[in-house]
Chain A
Amino acid sequence: NAGVMQNPRHLVRRRGQEARLRCSPMKGHSHVYWYRQLPEEGLKFMVYLQKENIIDESGMPKERFSAEFPKEGPSILRIQQVVRGDSAAYFCASSSGHLNTEAFFGQGTRLTVV
């Protein structure tokens, strides 16, 4: 049973380009969470999605960032017109949706904006 898969593991973008980060949840999981970790800082919640629905986006920046989790395929975190401050590690986690169950994290995508 494969764990949470994130790709790419490393992504380099020039300022102004778009970044697309993908997250495939564990088999049987229909809930996905995205987190961002700036260098030398803690993990900050961004968004929580269920299949085709955004449940909680209280941590998402108001502009340039969007997330989706379509019926088929991975969850996508999209960052438009990236800036140097977007350089960070982006982690996703998945859970089954059953109450009081743990969420499992992927190994992250490290985005570097040059």
Chain B
Amino acid sequence: DAKTTQPPSMDCAEGRAANLPCNHSTISGNEYVYWYRQIHSQGPQYIIHGLKNNETNEMASLIITEDRKSSTLILPHATLRDTAVYYCIVRDTGANSKLTFGKGITLSVRP
């Protein structure tokens, strides 16, 4: 019952920007967009989250469209260690609700 859709996979060259798309057309006004990644069956790693404004941190940037129906996670300079499954998650702001993971997108960074 994930509320997001992502392509199953993509690849990019090492050193280039990786732009990972996510559709969340049914997002409601009180829901945030979160991104996590899972590297080879390790514990999921938090990347970034946002409501409607674009966000940037040391790992990535999150671009959310004005209508909030889609977003893009940008890894500005992908490295081989960024190869992972990336999950885009819509989460209700209320009461620290659970994160519902979908299938995610498998990013393969090639040398």
Contact = CB atoms under 8 A, between A and B. Distances in A.
Interface of A: 4, 31, 33, 35, 37, 42-45, 48, 55-56, 59, 89, 91, 93, 95, 97-108
A107 B98 contact: no
Interface of B: 32, 34, 36, 38, 41-46, 49, 51, 87, 93-104
Name the prevailing secondary structure of the B interface residues: loop
A89 B98 contact: no
B42 A103 contact: no
B96 A45 contact: no
Contacts of B100: 45
A103 B99 contact: yes
A39 B94 CA distance: 32
A107 B99 contact: no
Contacts of A91: 43-44
Nearest to A96: B96
Given A42-B103, A107-B42, A107-B43, A95 B96 contact: yes
B102 A108 contact: no
Nearest to A98: B96
B49 A102 contact: yes
